[in-house]
């Protein structure tokens, strides 16, 4: 576990978030700058950033949806800081923010071949619901996961 600082989003984070997303995802899955800005600055957005020595090493974004659901838009951790509990800290903080905003559960899509993220979400208590066929484009399916927020 590394000692990183968690904080909310600042407009000045956008470029570092975009660059980290480029490292974390292949072109099929990554955000454009505009998509990233829109996702992070939407009225429904909740964003948590992890900093280590003032460098952005991870972030996650959720949107608070109708029906009291929090949707995880993205979760990115710098490869140099992985397996140190950064994503765990980010998700716990994001879930708490969504719970405070009235969400009763969180849900998300994850690419069927993204075994690291699938393991991570299952370890976080997320439960597989169903396959969303072609969610990421033809032949690229997503798994849908959900977790109730009534427990810590």
Ligand X SMILES: CC(C)(COP(=O)(O)OP(=O)(O)OC[C@H]1O[C@@H](n2cnc3c(N)ncnc32)[C@H](O)[C@@H]1OP(=O)(O)O)[C@@H](O)C(=O)NCCC(=O)NCCS
Residues that bind ligand X (CB under 6 A): 24, 75-77, 82-88, 110, 114, 116-117, 119-120, 123
68 vs 114, beta carbon nearer ligand X: 114
- Minimum distance of ligand X from residue 114's CB (angstroms): 5
How near is the Cβ of 138 to ligand X at its closest, in Å? 20
CB of 49 to ligand X, least distance (A): 14
Residue with smaller CB distance to ligand X, 85 or 125: 85
CA 15 to chain centre: 17
Minimum separation from the CB atom of position 101 to ligand X (A): 21
Q: Which is nearer to ligand X, 77 or 94 (CB)?
A: 77
How far, in Å, CA of 86 to CA of 12, rounded? Answer: 21
Q: Which CB sits closer to ligand X, 38 or 123?
A: 123
């Amino acid at each position: 576990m590394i000692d990183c600082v968690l904080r909310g989003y600042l407009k000045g984070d956008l470029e570092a978030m975009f660059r980290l997303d480029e490292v974390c995802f292949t072109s099929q899955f990554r955000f454009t700058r505009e998509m990233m800005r829109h996702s992070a600055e939407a009225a429904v957005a909740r964003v948590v950033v992890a900093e280590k020595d003032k460098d952005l090493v991870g972030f996650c974004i959720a949107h608070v949806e109708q029906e009291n659901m929090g949707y995880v838009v993205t979760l990115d951790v710098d490869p140099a800081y992985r397996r140190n509990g950064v994503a765990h800290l980010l998700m716990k903080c994001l879930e708490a923010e969504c719970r405070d905003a009235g969400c009763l559960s969180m849900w998300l899509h994850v690419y069927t071949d993204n075994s690291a993220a699938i393991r991570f979400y299952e370890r976080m208590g997320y439960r597989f619901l169903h396959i969303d066929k072609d969610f990421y484009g033809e032949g690229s399916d997503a798994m849908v996961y959900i977790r109730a927020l009534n427990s810590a």
